[in-house]
Amino acid sequence: MCTRLLAKRGTLKIFIMIFETLKATFFIPLLRLLIVIGFVLAARPGHAEFRAVSLDNNFPDEIAAAKEQGKFLVIMFQQIGCPYCEKMRARVYPDPRVQKYYTKRFVLIESNIRGDLEVVSPEGKTMTEKKYARKNRIRATPTFIYFDKNGKEALKVTGFMDVSRFIKAGQYVVGGVYKTKTSFYRYLQKSTK
């Protein structure tokens, strides 16, 4: 019995020695590596930095704040469960080209077409999100309304946009093409030739 107990204690000591060796040679370096990776990821540009959350849904204030930064406001009308809205968030917004272009030039705010939160429209009228969506004749999601720096609608696009088209929509507004009365779709045709 005594030899078994000694053998168990010896086995325990061996396990402790193995654990201490692994801790020193594997776990601590792994922990250090994970910390470094965490700092590197934290230093990278975040996903969709151009996206913002409006605390009061006061769109005239949002347009003015964007203008102060030299940016345009975009409202993305969405609804819960919209697969194309999720596709925009997952595939388009994180793209480095979109990040680079939109972060410098736009602030994007989402509005739920079935939502009951109060919003203040660019015209200064208070209503619910769903009434604002109805007023803007939003029937499908996602729908994007781009505002010029004076709060006037510059472009309205309904449906999923791939990276290229999303950037072209931004260029259409930033370049002032909407002022020429050239439709966005004609602009797309000309820019792809």
State whether 38 and 65 are in the same domain: no
- Residue 68 domain-assigned (yes or no): yes
Residues 87 and 158 in one domain: yes
pLDDT at 143: 98
Query: 81 and 39 share a domain?
Result: no
Kindly state whether residues 17 and 65 are assigned to the same domain: no
Shared-domain flag, residues 38 and 123: no
Dihedral over alpha carbons 151, 157, 161, 165 (to 10 degrees): -70
What's the pLDDT band for 111 if we cut at 50, 70, 90?
very high
On whether residue 50 sits in a domain, the answer given is no
pLDDT computed for residue 50 by the predictor: 77
CATH code of the domain covering residue 79:
3.40.30.10
Domain co-membership, 63 together with 141: yes
Indicate whether 83 belongs to any domain: yes
Least trusted range by pLDDT, from 21-30, 49-58, 119-128, 142-151: 21-30
39 and 65 part of one domain: no
- Count of CB atoms within 10 A of residue 6's CB? 10
Amino acid in position 34: L
| Number of neighbouring beta carbons within 10 Å of residue 92 | 21
Pick 12 or 183 by higher pLDDT: 183
In 3-state terms, what secondary structure has residue 173?
Answer: helix
Mean pLDDT, rounded, for 57-68: 94
Task: Check whether residue 81 and residue 169 sit in a common domain.
Answer: yes
Same domain membership, residue 80 and residue 158: yes
Query: How high is the mean pLDDT of the chain?
Result: 85
Q: Note whether 106 and 186 are same-domain residues.
A: yes
Structural domain including 10 reads 1-44
Within a domain: 52: no
The secondary structure of residue 45, as a DSSP letter, is P
Q: Is 27 part of any domain?
A: yes
pLDDT tens digits for 82-96? 999 999 999 999 999
pLDDT level of residue 22 (50, 70, 90 thresholds): low
According to the model, what pLDDT value does residue 151 have?
Answer: 93
What is the tally of structural domains in the chain?
2
142 cis-preceded (ω within 30 degrees of 0): yes
* Angle between helix 163-174 and 184-191 (nearest 10): 110
Supply φ then ψ for residue 154, to 5 degrees. Answer: -105, -30
Residue 16 within a domain: yes
- 125: pLDDT confidence band, cut at 50, 70 and 90? very high
Note whether 84 and 111 are same-domain residues.
yes
Give residue 164's pLDDT band: very low, low, confident or very high (50, 70, 90).
very high
Q: Is residue 51 situated within a structural domain?
A: no
42 — pLDDT class (breaks 50, 70, 90): very low
Instruction: Determine the pLDDT at residue 193.
Output: 65
High-pLDDT (> 90) share of the chain, %: 68
Asked if 15 and 107 sit in the same domain, the reply is no
Rounded distance between C-alpha atoms, residue 42 and residue 100, angstroms: 17
* Residue 54, in any domain of the structure: no
